[in-house]
Amino acid sequence: MSARKISSAKAYLEFPGFSLNGWPMLFVTVGLWVAAFYCARLAMEPAGTSARLLSADSLAGIALFLVALGSLIGRGLTIIRPNDAMILLFFGAYHGTVRTIGFRWCNPLAKRTKISLKARNLVSDQLKVNDQRGNPIEIAAVVVWRIADTAQAVFEVENYDNYVRIQIESAVRHLASQFAYDHDEDSEEMSLRGGSDQLVPSAWWKWRSTTSRRAAWSILTRSDGRLWSAIFW
């Protein structure tokens, strides 16, 4: 029963969220506040001293409305730095991710969550495992990773930092059990010690493409392939 619920759960994929250039919206906000100030000033003048077409109460109501409208529009102004993104939630529904950097304007009623897209370093704990020949070895991984799909990173897992760490440790265990740590001098068999430049990238992506772990690694993107030569020590 629980397996059916998990398999039928909605999968969230990132799509661009609605945003506009923030500078025109800033001018609109300031213009509304200036108009509100002008209406309030007319409302406070004594009757007969100005050529106003509406009563003082009407002008005061218009001034309050313009202030509220300007404040609402101004609430949508935000700044997105390089390598940052902003997830938009409107009444609990996912309404896209804004990746355009600079001064932007988004839906002021939407909840905005910033998420970093910068590359991160992760050093796993040293694990005691057995290689393909059954020899006990200690192995660890140095991985540089970044978020590729913000929607999956936020909505598919509880804490993506801990999730990535656990998945990387599982990947290291899997790779270590598929190959021998070292090989004989006359053997052309790849080993963890001598063939990491060729072995690690291909084995890593072979493990990543398995059905049971595809969803786990879909939130990651591969860095420079030369990195993986240093994954074992």
Query: pLDDT tens for residues 54-72?
Result: 788 888 899 999 999 999 9
Q: What is the CA radius of gyration of the chain?
A: 29
Domain ranges of the chain: 20-116, 120-230
Residue-wise pLDDT tens digits, 117-165: 998 888 878 878 887 777 787 877 777 888 888 998 899 888 888 888 8
Q: What is the CATH number of domain 120-230?
A: 3.30.479
Q: Strand 102-105 and strand 20-21: pairing?
A: antiparallel
Name the band, by pLDDT with cuts 50, 70 and 90, for residue 196: low
Name the band, by pLDDT with cuts 50, 70 and 90, for residue 103: very high
* pLDDT at residue 88, as a whole number: 96
Reported pTM = 0.71
Residue-wise pLDDT tens digits, 208-225: 434 333 333 333 333 333
